[in-house]
Amino acid sequence: MEKARWRLRIHGKVQGVFFRKYAQMTAQSLGLGGFARNQPDGTVLIEVEGPPDKLELFLRWAYRGSPAAQVAQVELEKDLPLLHESTFQIG
């Protein structure tokens, strides 16, 4: 099965609104590995890996985010080296 790893930087009201927890639940439901971390500049950094079709579904979710989030922008970087992560961690 083909896998890929993507990096997303989420801008907007995304800290203090359970964004990372919802990201974890979404990634787990899709069978994706990776992590989500708050950044000092107020963004959330996510790296996620798995089948490209599942990554597309995760990306679609990221534009909405958690119920209380207000996503202003999603930066996407594709084709990162695979780390073969099978779980999704909150950092």
The one catalytic residue among 9, 20, 37, 60: 20
The first and second tokens of residue 25, run together, are: 């639940």
Please identify which of the residues 7, 9, 37, 38 carries the catalytic annotation.
38
Question: In this structure, are strands 88-90 and 4-13 parallel, antiparallel, or unpaired?
Answer: unpaired
Active site annotation includes 20: yes
Catalytic amino acids? 20, 38
